[in-house]
């Protein structure tokens, strides 16, 4: 049994449309806070929300901080692949999700004066971000659209016929 199977009892699938709506809602909230020098996307999950926010707020300066902690099944040791040089005054850090807060803590330490925004937040990581849109239970696995594919599913009535 993987860490994923033990930790996550529920799944919350996010469609591309929902992700765009939720991220645009976050952009509206960020627009009310102030003007930003640029965006620092936390890769890889923060790339899509950062692109949407950059478009909505007309921000052209986008950098990345590359941090890795997840494989598709487990959350492991945090590895900083690419840090950022700027200390973050007036910068906006964007990620898709704050889960346990381990990645967010590393990024916060690197860029302490930036405003940290995520689209989704879980209770363990929520204190580490400044802005988010949707809170999700800690035991819920968020299934992002880039991690899933659409496929045909047989109608329930057809399944009954197969058992006969």
- Surface-to-core class of residue 53, CB atoms within 10 Å of its CB (0-12 exposed, 13-18 middle, 19+ buried): buried
Q: What is the DSSP letter of 126?
A: G
- Catalytic choice (5, 63, 86, 95): 95
99 is catalytic: yes
Q: Judge whether 95 counts as a catalytic residue.
A: yes
Q: Which two tokens stand for residue 16?
A: 């591309």
Establish whether the linkage from the previous residue to 44 is cis, with ω within 30° of 0: yes
Residues contacting 97, CB < 8 A, separation 6+:
45, 118, 119, 120, 121, 122, 125, 142
User: Of the residues 22, 96, 130, 147, which is catalytic?
Assistant: 96
Which of 63, 86, 99, 162 is labelled catalytic? Answer: 99
**Is 22 a residue of the active site?**
no
- Please identify every residue annotated as catalytic: 95-96, 99
């Amino acid at each position: 049994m993987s860490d994923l199977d033990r930790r996550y009892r529920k799944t919350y699938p996010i469609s591309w449309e929902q992700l765009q709506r939720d991220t645009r809602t976050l952009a509206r909230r960020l627009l009310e806070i102030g003007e930003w020098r640029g965006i620092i996307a936390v890769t890889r999950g923060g790339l899509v929300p950062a692109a949407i926010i950059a478009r909505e707020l007309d921000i052209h300066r986008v950098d990345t901080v590359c941090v890795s902690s997840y494989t598709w099944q487990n959350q492991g040791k945090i590895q900083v692949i690419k840090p950022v040089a700027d200390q973050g005054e007036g910068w906006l850090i964007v990620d898709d999700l704050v889960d346990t807060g381990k990645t967010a803590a590393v990024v916060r330490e690197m860029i302490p004066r930036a405003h940290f925004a995520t689209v989704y937040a879980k209770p363990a990581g929520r204190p580490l971000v400044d802005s988010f849109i949707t809170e999700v239970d800690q035991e819920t696995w968020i299934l992002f659209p880039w991690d899933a594919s659409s496929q045909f599913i047989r109608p329930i009535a057809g399944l009954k016929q197969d058992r006969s």
